[in-house]
Amino acid sequence: MSAIRPAAVVVLAAGEGTRMKSKTPKVLHELCGRSLVGHVVSAARELEPEHLVVVVGHASERVEGHLAERYAGTRTAYQAEQNGTGHAVRIGLEELAPGGALDGTVVVVCGDTPLLSGGTLTALAATHSADGNAVTVLTAEVPDSTGYGRIVRDAASGAVTAIVEHKDATDAQRAIREINSGVFAFDGRLLADALGKVRTDNSQGEEYLTDVLGILREAGHRVGASVAADHREILGINNRVQLAEAGRLLNARLLEQAMMAGVTVVDPASVRVDVTVTFEPDAIIHPGSQLLGVTHLGEGAEVGPNTRLKDTAVGAGARVDNTVADGAEIGADAAVGPYAYLRPGTRLGPKSKAGTYVEMKNASIGEGTKVPHLSYVGDATIGEYSNIGAASVFVNYDGEAKHHTTIGSHCKTGSDNMFVAPVTVGDGAYTAAGSVITKDVPAGSLAVARGQQRNIEGWVARKRPGSAAAQAAAAATEMSGDNN
């Protein structure tokens, strides 16, 4: 590895990406939870280069801010005007060395090829140094080469003679299926020298990096090409159709890795995962599910259908059905849903339950505790093996501040309870159905907090005479043999 450790990787990310038709700079668009430039920087880091520099320009503050936040320590170089890929590389190299001349290998990657793997970059750098080339370009045979630079080879020897951009190509050249991926390994000194000779006499009036190949070849240096094993890896994103296509390919790659590692994915086409999601063997993902951010599925955890989990840890053997969760921890063998909403700070203990139409936020639920139906649990701590009755609300907000509710272990609270925080229910306590709990309940007591029931007999006969209700009531009275 160290033998091919490059002196530098230069990532080109200054372009606006007009074909995206977006206010967001192209390289900040996301694929499986990571920006386009983030994918490229991650792959580049696998090479362990001495220097890594990202050339920024369009919306540079946003791109720089993103890099500083997510890829701390990444250097940037500022290209004020986007005068072409050759110009961009020149600016990147000048950031690293006076005159831009570095000893050793310089790898150049475009910020818009997110599927490129670290392995492919490593293989390119290895071929480059093994063959002693001045430049090695990563190429690919693609089914549709529209828009890409074409690799022109010498008919007799097969050697690469030039790269011709789509816009500058003749009809015969446009028929070529082998394209420039935009990824190169260069000899650092020869690159700096050749960049000084690149001209702008082309259809876009730009300094093309691709012209460096012809310049080096004419000067008698070795120009090599390495054909990518899988052309899909070098897909460049110029528009949103390609963004969606790359997302589909990357997602399929991630799910394939998960399946090979022992995860069952019932319908891969309907499941989306981010690059940061991790799994244990025997996890099962049902159709229509999205796993985002730093979500983790424990061994045998079963998720879906139709579930969206973000930054959520699912314990071994837990079952999560038709649920949305964000920033939640779900304990081993817990049951969630169908139709639960777990918001940030929810922690479900082992064997606990957050059932149907249950919403939780900033709530810790102990082992074996169940909140089975139609409830809101916010800002609460509940002990072990308690049961919260249906349709309960943890009334946490007084209009100005949030307050906490604490419920002990082995409690049984009635249906339709309001817990008006701050309030505490002691261990082993019961509450009656329909109670509004505003005062602390001591351990082991029964709290009843509701109006007494009063039956006003004969009210319907007096106030609604002749109505269907009155007739039904009269018939019922007759049948019961009550003649009063």
Q: Which residues are catalytic, by number?
A: 373
Q: Is 318 in the site for ligand UD1 (CB under 6 A)?
A: no
Q: What is the longest distance spanned by two Cα atoms in the chain?
A: 119
Instruction: Please identify, using beta-carbon distances, which residue of 64 and 427 lies nearer to ligand UD1.
Output: 64
Contacts of 244 (CB under 8 A, 6+ apart): none
Query: What does the alpha-carbon distance between residue 255 and residue 458 come to, in Å, rounded to a whole number?
Result: 68
Strands (E), 176-234: 178-187, 223-227
What is the residue whose two structure tokens read 């399946």? 259
Strands 296-297 and 278-279: parallel
Instruction: Please identify, using beta-carbon distances, which residue of 207 and 359 lies nearer to ligand UD1.
Output: 207
Contacts of 369 (CB under 8 A, 6+ apart): 349, 352, 353, 382, 383, 384, 385, 386, 387, 388
Interaction mask 122-161, ligand UD1, x per CB under 6 A:
--------------------------xx------------
Instruction: Please identify, using beta-carbon distances, which residue of 177 and 373 lies nearer to Ca ion.
Output: 177
In this structure, what are the phi and psi dihedrals at residue 471, rounded to the nearest 5 degrees?
-65, -45
- Among Ca ion, ligand UD1, none, what does residue 341 contact (CB within 5–8 Å per kind)? none
Instruction: Please identify, using beta-carbon distances, which residue of 112 and 416 lies nearer to Ca ion.
Output: 112
- Among ligand UD1, Ca ion, none, what does residue 15 contact (CB within 5–8 Å per kind)? ligand UD1
- Among Ca ion, ligand UD1, none, what does residue 149 contact (CB within 5–8 Å per kind)? ligand UD1
In this chain, which of 79, 251, 312, 323 binds ligand UD1, going by CB under 6 A?
79
* 155: number of Cβ within 10 Å: 7
Indicate the DSSP class of residue 270.
G
- Among ligand UD1, Ca ion, none, what does residue 148 contact (CB within 5–8 Å per kind)? ligand UD1
- Among Ca ion, ligand UD1, none, what does residue 386 contact (CB within 5–8 Å per kind)? none
DSSP, collapsed to helix, strand or coil, labels residue 97 as coil
Contact at 8 Å (CB) between 21 and 45?
no
* Position of minimal CB gap to Ca ion: 236
Q: Is 184 in the site for ligand UD1 (CB under 6 A)?
A: no
Residues 286-315 that bind ligand UD1 (CB under 6 A): none
- Among Ca ion, ligand UD1, none, what does residue 84 contact (CB within 5–8 Å per kind)? ligand UD1
Instruction: Please identify, using beta-carbon distances, which residue of 80 and 468 lies nearer to ligand UD1.
Output: 80
Q: Tokens standing for 174? A: 């446009």
Query: What does the alpha-carbon distance between residue 284 and residue 302 come to, in Å, rounded to a whole number?
Result: 5
* 438: number of Cβ within 10 Å: 13
β partners of residue 268 = none
Q: Least distance in Å: CB of 113 to Ca ion?
A: 8
Sign for the pseudo-dihedral over CA of 354, 360, 365, 371: negative
Residues 99-118 that bind Ca ion (CB under 5 A): 112
* 246: number of Cβ within 10 Å: 23
In this chain, which of 20, 112, 186, 366 binds ligand UD1, going by CB under 6 A?
112
Q: Least distance in Å: CB of 130 to ligand UD1?
A: 24
Contact at 8 Å (CB) between 373 and 358?
yes
Q: Least distance in Å: CB of 340 to ligand UD1?
A: 42
Q: Is 236 in the site for Ca ion (CB under 5 A)?
A: yes
In this chain, which of 12, 67, 249, 348 binds ligand UD1, going by CB under 6 A?
12
Candidates 82-90, 237-245, 318-326, 446-454: pick the segment binding Ca ion (CB under 5 A). Answer: 237-245
Residue from 272, 274, 278 nearest 258 by CA = 278
- Calculate Rg over the CA atoms of the chain: 33
Contact at 8 Å (CB) between 185 and 130?
no
Instruction: Please identify, using beta-carbon distances, which residue of 228 and 421 lies nearer to ligand UD1.
Output: 228
Residue from 385, 348, 353 nearest 363 by CA = 348
Binding residue count for Ca ion, defined by CB under 5 A:
3
Query: What does the alpha-carbon distance between residue 143 and residue 164 come to, in Å, rounded to a whole number?
Result: 18
Candidates 180-188, 278-286, 413-421, 440-448: pick the segment binding ligand UD1 (CB under 6 A). Answer: 180-188
Q: Is 17 in the site for Ca ion (CB under 5 A)?
A: no
Candidates 111-119, 314-322, 338-346, 378-386: pick the segment binding ligand UD1 (CB under 6 A). Answer: 111-119
Q: Is 82 in the site for ligand UD1 (CB under 6 A)?
A: yes
Residues 191-230 that bind ligand UD1 (CB under 6 A): 208-210
β partners of residue 329 = 313, 347
Residues 158-177 that bind ligand UD1 (CB under 6 A): 163, 165
* 453: number of Cβ within 10 Å: 5
- Among Ca ion, ligand UD1, none, what does residue 314 contact (CB within 5–8 Å per kind)? none
Chain positions contacting Ca ion, by CB under 5 A: 112, 236, 238
Chain positions contacting ligand UD1, by CB under 6 A: 12-15, 55, 79, 82-85, 87-88, 110-113, 148-149, 163, 165, 179-182, 208-210, 236, 238
